[in-house]
A and B are shown apart, each in its own frame.
Chain A
């Protein structure tokens, strides 16, 4: 394991393992089919404070190291990636507040999460995904208020969130420099949530549109200065990509675990299939991808923790892990053969779960653009 976790971290990890074994693994199959949000599992996760790992200690948080946290997130993701994505949604919503918010805003949002609440980060729009600067949502200042209008989509946790970080254009003529970020609380008039997206994978996470119709919020709900919203969102995504990669490693590892066991049980041509070199090589490649993905995550986390630039490393971790999760899931299905294609067996879900890791938090194409530009930037002639 590339995460050098503390002794306390190991003890915590045992609890999380027990929780995943007893409360998540067997139950998620049913939720995967129904698409229902497993509130009972999330209530237990809140009791264990697994939804609060991103709250800094100075705002009442848990004081976990990021490496210990990564090992815990991976463990949850191994049991179910959708649950890890939901819990991580709180971190995603908190990050822009911690990056750009004032003390009062930070404490308020941290308190919401420490009290078992949820947050959501609302950046994506129907016409502005990776191209976030093309945002159509507007925030117009009227007296001491902003009036926000627009539609956000694919918002994780929107249906359950107590607070939203919403990006909107305060000055369209300025392009990305005309974007600002705002805190909008649940129950604000004009704020409504669309239907639950019927997704291919990570079906235990809830994803919906967020509709803002003349949503009036006080000026003090703005995060940072006007025009800094795009910068805040990009900084948020740097961190978010790292954690999204950590979840992806969980899928990679689960594929290895399932395949290694099955390859010893399944017999063809008179021997367990792992004794056929073709299967051994597949298992080896899956393991190599998993170890490499985890090492990339550990590197990005270490750099971020020590205050050094980590954008390229976070993109590399996200991109490689997303690709690896899909490849590992495909290999796992191949090792399971016909059974792998059956919904009776666990590995087909892993492929459906894995695919989103090449898409969300910036597609892997965008990650390669980020990395490619950085490579040229550091070799200027």
Chain B
């Protein structure tokens, strides 16, 4: 079983992002860059799958040069190969363009590995832009079966069974291979790397390819990003500080009535 996982490098989602007043864009320069959480869930799911059923996990990312550091870290927690695709042309484009590039990148990874992929995984969304479209669009471009928000994958002969998380419970789908799935949060967390694996991974060299080297053609964007706005600040609430509880309730009722809430 050959599994490819596309990973996006995102600003640490534990840090609140504000807009840079000068550029009008999110100020993420000083925020640590990490692998998108849903992509790390995909890697853990894939690592567990190959540990149980055999196979190999490849990770690939589009991003600036420093992105290889994130990919190295993934080599310590279940991935055995990593490729970076870095090109100025990758820095713009909508979800359609990104999916078109990833479809071509998947082919390049197959050529590098010398083996086709049986399964391609993406996180169900990225924690920065949260469009949740790329996985589905990628499946469309590759003409492959697609299941979203998967939390479990099991072998079924020459097919795969994907358990999809829904609001009410779950649905099981059987698909042929290769297939594209997007991964939601399974019932476990990604593993911590052990020190030896981490130190070995840090020494690894991640092959990097430009658009030309990877054979990635220009991709069309249909959506234009006009700008970012911050969510409106919450208004300060009213404080009612009467000495007696009865007076507090009376005051609250008065305000609610005068504002025609009641």
Contact = CB atoms under 8 A, between A and B. Distances in A.
Contacts of B69: 11
Given A11-B69, A11-B73, A48 B194 contact: yes
A18 interface: yes
Contact of A44 (B192, B195, B198, B202): B192
A267 interface: no
Contacts of A48: 192-195
A213 B199 CA distance: 44
A12 interface: yes
A62 B196 CA distance: 5
Most buried by A among B192, B194, B198, B202: B192
Interface string B167-198: 00000000000000000000001011111101
B199 A64 contact: yes
Nearest to A19: B192
A49 B76 CA distance: 13
B91 to A, nearest CB: 25
A30 interface: no
A133 to B, nearest CB: 38
A52 B195 contact: yes
A48 to B, nearest CB: 5
B193 A15 contact: yes
Interface string A36-80: 000000001001111011000000001110000000000000000
Contacts of B196: 49, 62-63
A8 interface: yes
Interface in A247-285: none
A11 B198 contact: yes
Nearest to A6: B202
Interface residues of B, number: 13
Contacts of A52: 195
Nearest to B190: A18
A18 B73 CA distance: 14
A12 B192 contact: no
Interface string B11-32: 0000000000000000000001
Given A11-B69, A11-B73, A53 B195 contact: yes
Interface string A1-13: 0000001100110
Interface residues of A, number: 19
B6 to A, nearest CB: 22
Contacts of B191: 47
Contacts of A22: 189
A11 B202 contact: yes
Nearest to B32: A14
A12 B198 contact: yes
Given A11-B69, A11-B202, A64 B192 contact: no
A40 to B, nearest CB: 14
B195 A50 contact: yes
Q: Max chain B CB contacts within 10 Å: which of A44, A49, A63?
A: A49
A14 B76 CA distance: 13
A47 B192 contact: yes
Contacts of A49: 194-196
A115 B202 CA distance: 23
Contacts of A53: 195
Contacts of A8: 198-199, 202
B79 to A, nearest CB: 15
A18 B195 contact: no
A49 B200 CA distance: 14
Contacts of A14: 32
Interface in B177-236: 189, 191-196, 198-199, 202
B243 to A, nearest CB: 21
B166 to A, nearest CB: 27
A62 B202 CA distance: 13
A363 to B, nearest CB: 33
Most buried by A among B73, B191, B199: B199
Interface in A301-333: none
Nearest to A12: B198
B199 A18 contact: no
B68 to A, nearest CB: 12
A48 B77 CA distance: 11
A48 B198 CA distance: 10
A18 B192 contact: yes
Contacts of B198: 8, 11-12, 15
A63 B194 contact: no
Contacts of A7: 202
Contacts of A18: 192
Contacts of A62: 195-196, 199
Contacts of B195: 12, 48-50, 52-53, 62, 64
B157 to A, nearest CB: 33
A56 to B, nearest CB: 13
A59 to B, nearest CB: 13
Q: Which residue, B32, B69, B73, B193, has most C-beta atoms of chain A within 10 A? A: B193
B202 A15 contact: no
A47 B202 contact: no
Contacts of A19: 192
Given A15-B193, A62-B195, 16 more contacts: A7-B202, A8-B202, A11-B73, A11-B202, A12-B198, A12-B199, A14-B32, A22-B189, A44-B192, A47-B192, A48-B195, A49-B196, A50-B195, A62-B199, A64-B195, A64-B199
19 contacts: A7-B202, A8-B198, A8-B199, A8-B202, A11-B69, A11-B202, A15-B193, A19-B192, A47-B191, A49-B195, A49-B196, A50-B195, A52-B195, A53-B195, A62-B195, A62-B196, A62-B199, A63-B196, A63-B199
Interface of B: 32, 69, 73, 189, 191-196, 198-199, 202
